[in-house]
Amino acid sequence: MVQRVAIIGAGVSGLASIKCCLDEGLEPTCFERSDDIGGLWKFTECAEEGRASIYRSVFTNSCKEMMCFPDFPFPDDFPNYMHNSKLQEYIRMYAKHFALLKYIKFKTMVSSIKKRPDFPVTGQWDVITKRDGKEESAVFDAVMVCSGHHVYPNFPVDCFPGLKKFKGSYFHSREYKEPEKFKGKRVLVIGLGNSGSDIAVELSHTASQVYLSSRSGSWVMSRVWDKGYPWDMLIVTRFESFLSNFLPTSVSDWLYVRRMNTWFKHENYGLMPLNRANRKEPVFNDDLPSRITCGTVVMKPNVKEFTETSAIFQDGTVQENIDFVIFATGYSYSYPFMADNAIIKCRDNEVTLYKGILPPRLEKPTLAVIGLIQSLGAIIPTSDLQARWAIRVFKGLYKLPPVNDMMEDIDEKMGKKLKWFGQSNTIQTDYISYMDELASAIGVKPSFPLLFLTDPRLALEVYFGPCSPYQFRLTGPGKWDGARNAILTQWDRTLKATRTRVVHDSQKHFPFLNLFKILALPLLLAVFLMFN
């Protein structure tokens, strides 16, 4: 029987895991190498070894209603998208509300996790930690790895000939903190992800010129979507997911490209992705198109090589007198505390996890990786559901299929990822499909035929409205009594954050969407009954 659980890291995934352990009657011990909770969202003045690092100006890309812990909504007056310090405040509120801090050992680094000699029988682990120069060892029945995937930088210096003779400064974006020292300088940012675009836009206000180099381009989205509502509350819905899966691929791809070009035509800004229909995670930046059109950010293709003072690009153009090069080239996945690295990277040195959580070839399923995933959905509700699933596996409440079946499931999903995201080994996934898969296994996925019949108002909001985290606390193990009300009032909290000056709307709106929902209800009910 699993009782004592070691949790590595006290970020949002670690905190969710502590609470889920407590909810299931287990005894968690969380090891955190720093002196505070928050993980990635805990800003520090300098990048620290072995910890995630963010720049001072980081804001969230998911809105508060879509990124909260599913049984702990944000306060009404919190902004929809928030600065890292505001999110850290919420994380502390969560930990205090559920009394999680007493289960965390701060300033304690996990140096080794290895199977005990009797692991095939007991499934137990030896966990070795270091604190104040002293080493301790303890035995745990299960381990939850919550160390994140923004710690070890992918720094491909060997892919850029001439970089070593470049006389300017170059570094990875994890070292970047604020723009002051770049005033009047010419800066090249390599990598068109969220960090690369954020840094380029911020530097464009102080540097003399910023160049942003992208190998393959990317779709760029604004946090502010149709009629000023948060993008994810309009796009991350079950109805949208149904359409993208139900429609022919050619139609779905056409609609996707059309939607992505609604804000501005990406081709005109040098941002168009090489594969337009690829569902690779877009970049979220409200200001990048404006900075490009003002000339303070100049888009460039991939760098071919460097000279002592310049960068030569793949299209043959040259930018002289570059002072700084910032590599916003992402991160690699590493688990230096695992005595046997092949447990997690069990095939071709790639992370291979069943449901994105569990190493499939363990003799006993007592190790889970929480939070190693990316999607259009937020990490907090995803980690929460992952932790709930993993703990039910630990306790034997969910029976795993044979190893061959788990590997086949992994291979099948890798094929889908290749089609949708352009890479088979990406940790990216479709948010709603993934959440529903875990929720079904736990027994917490809403039953839509039943919901339409018993609570049509809630059913309409759940299906046509945002797929908010509260949906996965409506029923089953871990049910939260406040979930229904949280769903029905989520738009009120969203508007309260922006309607700080009340203006009465004089226009009369015909409730077309509400009428459409009511008329569509019988059709959807028939579809659910047909396929379930």
Q: Is 166 helix (H, G, I), strand (E, B) or coil?
A: coil
For 470-488, the pLDDT digits (tens) are 999 999 999 999 999 999 9
Is the confidence at residue 9, as pLDDT, over 80?
Answer: yes
CB 13: neighbour CB atoms within 10 A?
Answer: 30
Q: What is the pLDDT of residue 341?
A: 83
Mean pLDDT of 392-418: 91
Mean pLDDT of 316-324: 97
Distance CA 12, CA 521 (A): 37
For 140-181, the pLDDT digits (tens) are 999 999 998 899 999 999 999 999 999 999 999 999 999 999
- What percent of the chain has a predicted confidence (pLDDT) above 90? 82
Is the confidence at residue 528, as pLDDT, over 80?
Answer: no
For residue 145, what is the DSSP state?
Answer: E
Q: Is 373 helix (H, G, I), strand (E, B) or coil?
A: coil
| Residue 511 binned pLDDT confidence (cut-offs 50, 70, 90) | very low
Is the confidence at residue 419, as pLDDT, over 50?
Answer: yes
Q: How many residues does the chain have?
A: 532
Distance CA 384, CA 16 (A): 5
Residue ranges with strand state E in 225-382: 283-284, 297-300, 303-306, 311-313, 318-319, 324-327, 331-332, 367-369
Distance CA 280, CA 376 (A): 9
Q: How much is the pTM? A: 0.92
Q: Between 423 and 203, name the one with better pLDDT.
A: 203
CB 65 within 8 A of CB 38: no
For 88-98, the pLDDT digits (tens) are 999 999 999 99
Q: What is the pLDDT of residue 279?
A: 80
Q: What is the pLDDT of residue 416?
A: 80
For 46-86, the pLDDT digits (tens) are 999 889 999 999 999 999 999 999 999 999 999 999 999 99
Q: Is 283 helix (H, G, I), strand (E, B) or coil?
A: strand
By DSSP bridging, strand 152-153 and strand 331-332 are antiparallel
Q: What is the pLDDT of residue 520?
A: 60
Distance CA 14, CA 527 (A): 39
Alpha helices in 221-356 (DSSP H): 231-235, 238-246, 249-260, 288-293
For 247-289, the pLDDT digits (tens) are 898 998 999 999 999 999 999 999 999 888 888 889 999 999 9
* Of residues 283, 86, 310, the one with CA closest to residue 194: 283
| Residue 525 binned pLDDT confidence (cut-offs 50, 70, 90) | low
- What percent of the chain has a predicted confidence (pLDDT) above 70? 93
Distance CA 512, CA 506 (A): 18
CB 124 within 8 A of CB 4: no
Q: What is the pLDDT of residue 516?
A: 57
Mean pLDDT of 344-352: 72
Beginning with the edge strand found earlier in the chain, give each strand of the sheet holding 318-319 in spatial order.
Answer: 303-306, 311-313, 318-319
| Residue 350 binned pLDDT confidence (cut-offs 50, 70, 90) | confident
List Cβ<8 Å contacts ≥24 apart for 47-56.
Answer: 47/174, 47/175, 50/109, 50/151, 51/151, 52/11, 52/148, 52/150, 52/151, 52/174, 53/150, 53/174, 53/175, 54/84, 55/173, 55/176, 55/177, 55/178, 55/195, 55/198, 55/199, 55/202, 56/177, 56/178
Is the confidence at residue 328, as pLDDT, over 70?
Answer: yes
Q: Which of 31-40, 228-237, 276-285, 326-335 has the lowest mean pLDDT?
A: 276-285
Q: What is the pLDDT of residue 246?
A: 87
CB 437 within 8 A of CB 357: no
H or E element in which residue 404 lies: helix 403-421
Q: Between 415 and 188, name the one with better pLDDT.
A: 188
Mean pLDDT of 211-230: 95
Cβ-in-10-Å burial (0-12, 13-18, 19+) of 395 comes to: middle
Q: What is the pLDDT of residue 426?
A: 75
Give the 3-state secondary structure of 177-243: CCCHHHCCCEEEEECCCHHHHHHHHHHCCCCCEEEEECCCCCCEECCECHHHCEHHHHHCEHHHHHH
Question: In the predicted model, what is the mean pLDDT of the chain?
Answer: 92
| Residue 499 binned pLDDT confidence (cut-offs 50, 70, 90) | very high
Mean pLDDT of 27-31: 98
CB 369: neighbour CB atoms within 10 A?
Answer: 26
Is the confidence at residue 512, as pLDDT, over 90?
Answer: no
How are the residues of the chain apportioned to helix, strand and coil, as percentages rounded to the nearest 5?
Answer: 40, 20, 45
| Residue 523 binned pLDDT confidence (cut-offs 50, 70, 90) | low
Is the confidence at residue 494, as pLDDT, over 50?
Answer: yes
Is the confidence at residue 508, as pLDDT, over 50?
Answer: no
Is the confidence at residue 331, as pLDDT, over 80?
Answer: yes
